[in-house]
C-alpha cells in the first residue's frame, strides 16, 4: 500500500510539473459556456477532458466535483456520438471510468476503461490507448495474485505504445508502475531492470526528481540481498524527496524503507530511528494504514533489540488508537504481538494469539507468500515453549516458501532456527546438516553482496576510465578545432573588409541614381494626382445628388407599400363586415358556418397585413406575436373557447410574408377544427413551431381531444379545410401529416426561406394572399 501511494505521488508530480505547471483554478463560468456550445471542436473536447480529469483528481470525493466531471464526460460522449468520433467517445469513457473508480464502483469503472481502450484502438490514438491500458491496470492491486499477470500485461502494452510515439515521460512513469507490480510477483531482478530503464528515460528528458524510482530500487535490491546497493538507493530516495520540500506520504514511505534496510543489515538502533521518523510523518497526515504498517516494523526492531516492553508499548498504542480494520492488517498485528510477548518472556500472553494464527494459516493456500510471517511467529513460539516437533514442522513450511520465492536472507534464518530445534531434541545429525545449510546460505548471501559491490566498483571504474579518455580526446579535438577556426576567422575578416568597400561604392552609386529617378517620378505623379483629384471631386458631387434622389424614391416606395397593406387590410375588413351582414339574413346552418370560416380565414390574412402596416420592416412577420394575436381572435370568436388551454412553444423566428400567410391559414383551419369538434369538456391545444434542422421548420398543432373516428378519417381527408391545408403546404414546398390517436396531431414540415429585399417581398405578399383567397 505504501509503495503504491509513493508511486502515485511520483506520477502526479511528473504530470503536474511537465504538463500543467502554471495551471490556474478552473472557472465554473468558463465550463458552463463550453458545456452550452452546440458543436464543440477538437480543442473544446481537449479542454473538457482536461477539466474532467481535474475535477475527479481533486482531493476527497466531493459530489460537486463528481457532478462537474460527469457533465464534461456527458458533453464529450454526446458530441462523439453525433459526429461519429471514436476518440471523443473514448475520452468520455476514460472520465466515466475514473469517476466510478473514485466512487468505489469498480465493476462499472472497469467496463468503461475497456470501452475507452477499444475506442482509442479504433481511432488509432496510441497515446490515449496507452492511458486506457494504465487505467485498466489500476483496477488490480499488486496484492491480487490471481489477476496480477493481467495488470502487468496492460502496463507492458502501455509502455510499448508510449515508446512507439516517443512519449518518454509517460513511458518512464508506466515503467515505474510496472516495476511496482512486478515486485508483487515477486520478480526482483526484472523489477530492477525496469526501474533502471525508467531512470534512464527520466534523465534523458531532464527530469531529476527520482525519489520514487530510487525507493523502489532500494526495495528490490534489499529483497535480492544486495544490501549495499539497496542502502545507497534508499538514501538517494530520501535526499531527492527532501530536496523538493516534499513532506507527504512519499517521504514517510522512503523512511520506512530505510528502516527495513537497516533491519536487514541488523543495525536495529538506526532502523528504530528511521521508523520513528516515518511514523511521525504518517501521524501528521493521519494515514492510519501507514501508521499500522510502520508500527509492525518498529515493533520487530525493538524485539531484535531484546526490548519486548517497548515493542508491546507501540503495538498496544496501535490496538487502542488506530486498530486495523481489514483481515490482513489484523493478522499482521497479531504476528507482531506474538513476537513482542516472546521477547518480553510472556509466553502465556502470546498463546491466544498463536492459536488464532495457526487457525488462520490452515485456511491459506500453501503457495501464499503471506504465510511466511505467520509461520515465523508460530515457529518462534513453539521453540520457546520447547515444542520442537512443531517447530520443525513450521520450519519445513517456511523453507518451502523461501525456496519458492528466492528469499535468501529469510532462508538462512530459517535454517538457523531449524538446526537449533534439532539440537534441542537430540537429533544431532539433522542439526549438523541444517547448520551446514545455514552456513551455506549465509555465505551465499555474503557472496551475493560482495559480488554486487565488486560489480558496482568495476562499473564505476570502467565508467570513470571511459569518461577520462573521452575528456582527453575531446580536449585535443577542441584545441585543433580552435586553431582551425582562428585561421578561418582571419581569412573571413579580410574577405569581408574587401567586400564591404566594394559593396559600399556600388550602393552609393545606386542610391544616387535612385534618388534622381525618384525625384522625377514624384513630379510626374503629383501632376497626375491633381488631375485625378479634380475628376473624383466632380464624381462625388454627382454621386451625392444621385444618392439623395434614390433616398427620396425609396421613401416614396415604402410609403406606397405600406398604403397597399393598409388598403388590403381595410378591404378585407369590409369583406368581413359584408359577410357578417349576410350572415344576419341567413338561417341555413351550413351557410352560416361557411361564412364564419371564411371570415376567420380573412382575419388570418388581415392580421398579417395589419402587422406589416405597423412594422418598420415590411418583409418579415414576427410569427410568435402573430400566432398569439390569432389565438386571441379565435378565442373571442367561439363560445366556450375559454375552457380550452393553449400551450404555445414558438421559436423566436421571423417569416417572410410568402410563408407567413400559408402558416396563418393552416393554423386558422387546424385550431378552428379543434375548437369545434375535438372537445366535449376542457382540453389543451399544443401549437409548436421549432427548427428541426439548419433550414427546416416544423409546425405542430395537436389536441388531446377525441380525435377522428376510424370511419370518419376518409371523409375528413376530403373536407375543404383539409384540402386547403394540403394546398397551403404545397405552396410552402412542405409536407402535411395528420395523425389521430390520443387526439389529432397535424404536422407541417417546410423549409425556412431566407428573407428577400423588402420591395420584392411586399409584392409577393399581395400575390400570395390573393392566390390563397382565390
CB-based contacts of 214: which residues, under 8 Å, 6+ apart?
A: 233, 234, 236, 237, 240
pLDDT class of 470 with cuts at 50, 70, 90: low
Return the SS3 of 383: helix
User: What residue ranges define each of the domains in the chain, with the CATH number in brackets?
Assistant: 364-468 (1.25.40.10), 618-773 (3.30.565.10)
DSSP string for residues in 71-95 = HHHHHHHHHHHHTT-HHHHHHHHHH
What would the grid cell of residue 557 be?
416606395
Residue (of 293, 288, 303, 297) closest to 339 by Cα position: 303
The answer on pLDDT for 697 being more than 70 is yes
Contact 417, 395 (CB under 8 A): yes
Say which residue the cell 490556474 belongs to.
24
CA geometry: angle 746, 748, 753, nearest 5 deg: 160
Contact 299, 341 (CB under 8 A): no
Return the SS3 of 648: strand
What would the grid cell of residue 199 be?
531512470
pLDDT at 564 (0 to 100): 66
Specify the DSSP class assigned to residue 397.
H
pLDDT tens sequence across 212-239: 888 889 888 888 878 888 888 989 888 8
As a whole number, mean pLDDT of residues 88-105 equals 85
Specify the DSSP class assigned to residue 24.
P
- Report in angstroms the alpha-carbon separations of 653 from 140, 365, 435, 646, 690: 56, 75, 97, 19, 9
Instruction: Tell which wins on pLDDT, 647 or 28.
Output: 647
Q: What are phi and psi of 703, to 5 degrees?
A: -130, 160
CB atoms within 10 A of CB 85: 17
Give the CA dihedral 268, 273, 277, 282, nearest 10 degrees. 40
The answer on pLDDT for 713 being more than 50 is no
pLDDT at 510 (0 to 100): 92
Distance CA 747, CA 740 (A): 12
Each residue of 670-686: b (16+ CB within 10 Å) or e? Answer: bbbbbbebbbeeebbbb
Pairing of strands 644-650, 683-691: parallel
The answer on pLDDT for 602 being more than 70 is yes
- Report in angstroms the alpha-carbon separations of 499 from 50, 489, 490, 511, 514: 58, 15, 14, 18, 22
Say which residue the cell 559491490 belongs to.
453
Distance CA 563, CA 559 (A): 6
Chain center to CA of 665: 52
Mean pLDDT lowest among 24-33, 148-157, 478-487, 661-670: 24-33
Contact 66, 79 (CB under 8 A): no
The answer on pLDDT for 759 being more than 70 is no
pLDDT at 569 (0 to 100): 61
The answer on pLDDT for 591 being more than 80 is no
Distance CA 737, CA 567 (A): 36
What would the grid cell of residue 141 be?
492491486
CB-based contacts of 276: which residues, under 8 Å, 6+ apart?
A: 298
pLDDT tens sequence across 59-89: 666 787 788 888 888 888 888 888 888 888 8
Chain center to CA of 33: 18
Say which residue the cell 508506466 belongs to.
174
Mean pLDDT lowest among 6-10, 123-127, 178-182, 728-732: 6-10
Amino acid at each position: 500500500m505504501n509503495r503504491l501511494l509513493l508511486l502515485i505521488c511520483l506520477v502526479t508530480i511528473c504530470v503536474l510539473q511537465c504538463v500543467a505547471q502554471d495551471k490556474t483554478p478552473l472557472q465554473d463560468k468558463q465550463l458552463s459556456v463550453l458545456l452550452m456550445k452546440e458543436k464543440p471542436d477538437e480543442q473544446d473536447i481537449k479542454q473538457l477532458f482536461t477539466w474532467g480529469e481535474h475535477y475527479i483528481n481533486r482531493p476527497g470525493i466531493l459530489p460537486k466535483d463528481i457532478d462537474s466531471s460527469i457533465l464534461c464526460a456527458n458533453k464529450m460522449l454526446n458530441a462523439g456520438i453525433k459526429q461519429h468520433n471514436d476518440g471523443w467517445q473514448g475520452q468520455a469513457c476514460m472520465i466515466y471510468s475514473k469517476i466510478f473508480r473514485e466512487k468505489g464502483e469498480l465493476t462499472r469503472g472497469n467496463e468503461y476503461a475497456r470501452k475507452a481502450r477499444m475506442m482509442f484502438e479504433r481511432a488509432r490514438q496510441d497515446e490515449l490507448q496507452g492511458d486506457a491500458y494504465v487505467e485498466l491496470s489500476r483496477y488490480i492491486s499488486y496484492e491480487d495474485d490471481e489477476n496480477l499477470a493481467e495488470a502487468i500485461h496492460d502496463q507492458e502494452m502501455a509502455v510499448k505504445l508510449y515508446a512507439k510515439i516517443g512519449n518518454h515521460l509517460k513511458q518512464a512513469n508506466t515503467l515505474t508502475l510496472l516495476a511496482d507490480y512486478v515486485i508483487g510477483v515477486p520478480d526482483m531482478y526484472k523489477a530492477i531492470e525496469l526501474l533502471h530503464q525508467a531512470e534512464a528515460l527520466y534523465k534523458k528528458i531532464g527530469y531529476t526528481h527520482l525519489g520514487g524510482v530510487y525507493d523502489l530500487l532500494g526495495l528490490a535490491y534489499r529483497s535480492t540481498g544486495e544490501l549495499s546497493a539497496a542502502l545507497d538507493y534508499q538514501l538517494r530516495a530520501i535526499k531527492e524527496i527532501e530536496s523538493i520540500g516534499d513532506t507527504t506520504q512519499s517521504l514517510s514511505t522512503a523512511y520506512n524503507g530505510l528502516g527495513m534496510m537497516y533491519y536487514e543489515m541488523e543495525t536495529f538502533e538506526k532502523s528504530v530511528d528511521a521508523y520513528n521518523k516515518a511514523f511521525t510523518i504518517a501521524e501528521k497526515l493521519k494515514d492510519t494504514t501507514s501508521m499500522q504498517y510502520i508500527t509492525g516494523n518498529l515493533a520487530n526492531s525493538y524485539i531484535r533489540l531484546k526490548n519486548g516492553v517497548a515493542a508491546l508499548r507501540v503495538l498496544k498504542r496501535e490496538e487502542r488508537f488506530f486498530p486495523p480494520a481489514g483481515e490482513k492488517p489484523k493478522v499482521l498485528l497479531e504476528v507482531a504481538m506474538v513476537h513482542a510477548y516472546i521477547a518480553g518472556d510472556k509466553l502465556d500472553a502470546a498463546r491466544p494469539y498463536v492459536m488464532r494464527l495457526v487457525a488462520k494459516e490452515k485456511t491459506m493456500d500453501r503457495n501464499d507468500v503471506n504465510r511466511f510471517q505467520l509461520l515465523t511467529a508460530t515457529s518462534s513460539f513453539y521453540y520457546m515453549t520447547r515444542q520442537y516437533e512443531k517447530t520443525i514442522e513450521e520450519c519445513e513450511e517456511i523453507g518451502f516458501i523461501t525456496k519458492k520465492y528466492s528469499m535468501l536472507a529469510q532462508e538462512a534464518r530459517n535454517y538457523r532456527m531449524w538446526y537449533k530445534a534439532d539440537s534441542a531434541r537430540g537429533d544431532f545429525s539433522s542439526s549438523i546438516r541444517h547448520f551446514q545449510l545455514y552456513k551455506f546460505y549465509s555465505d551465499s548471501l555474503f557472496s551475493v553482496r560482495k559480488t554486487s559491490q565488486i560489480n558496482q566498483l568495476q562499473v564505476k571504474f570502467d565508467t570513470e576510465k571511459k569518461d577520462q579518455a573521452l575528456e582527453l580526446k575531446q580536449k585535443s579535438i577542441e584545441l585543433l578545432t580552435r586553431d582551425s577556426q582562428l585561421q578561418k576567422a582571419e581569412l573571413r575578416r579580410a574577405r569581408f573588409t574587401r567586400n564591404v568597400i566594394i559593396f559600399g561604392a556600388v550602393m552609393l552609386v545606386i542610391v544616387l541614381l535612385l534618388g534622381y529617378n525618384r525625384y522625377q517620378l514624384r513630379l510626374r505623379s503629383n501632376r497626375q494626382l491633381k488631375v485625378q483629384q479634380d475628376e473624383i471631386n466632380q464624381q462625388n458631387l454627382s454621386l451625392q445628388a444621385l444618392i439623395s434622389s434614390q433616398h427620396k424614391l425609396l421613401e416614396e416606395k415604402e410609403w406606397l407599400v405600406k398604403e397597399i397593406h393598409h388598403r388590403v387590410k381595410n378591404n378585407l375588413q369590409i369583406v368581413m363586415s359584408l359577410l357578417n351582414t349576410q350572415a344576419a339574413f341567413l338561417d341555413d346552418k351550413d351557410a352560416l358556418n361557411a361564412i364564419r370560416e371564411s371570415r376567420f380565414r380573412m382575419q388570418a390574412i388581415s392580421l398579417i397585413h395589419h402587422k406589416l402596416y405597423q412594422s418598420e420592416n415590411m418583409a418579415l412577420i414576427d410569427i410568435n406575436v402573430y400566432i398569439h394575436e390569432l389565438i386571441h381572435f379565435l378565442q373571442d370568436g367561439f363560445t366556450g373557447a375559454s375552457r380550452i388551454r393553449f400551450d404555445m412553444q414558438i421559436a423566436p423566428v421571423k417569416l417572410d410574408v410568402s410563408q407567413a400567410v400559408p402558416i396563418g391559414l393552416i393554423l386558422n383551419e387546424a385550431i378552428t377544427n379543434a375548437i369545434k369538434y375535438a372537445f366535449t369538456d376542457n382540453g389543451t391545444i399544443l401549437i409548436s413551431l421549432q427548427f428541426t434542422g439548419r433550414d427546416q421548420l416544423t409546425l405542430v398543432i395537436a389536441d388531446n381531444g377525441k380525435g377522428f373516428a376510424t370511419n370518419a378519417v376518409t371523409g375528413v381527408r376530403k373536407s375543404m379545410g383539409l384540402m386547403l391545408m394540403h394546398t397551403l403546404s404545397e405552396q410552402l414546398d412542405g409536407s402535411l401529416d395528420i395523425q389521430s390517436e390520443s387526439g389529432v396531431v397535424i404536422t407541417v414540415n417546410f423549409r425556412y426561406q431566407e428573407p428577400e429585399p423588402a420591395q420584392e417581398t411586399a409584392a409577393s405578399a399581395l400575390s400570395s394572399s390573393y392566390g390563397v383567397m382565390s
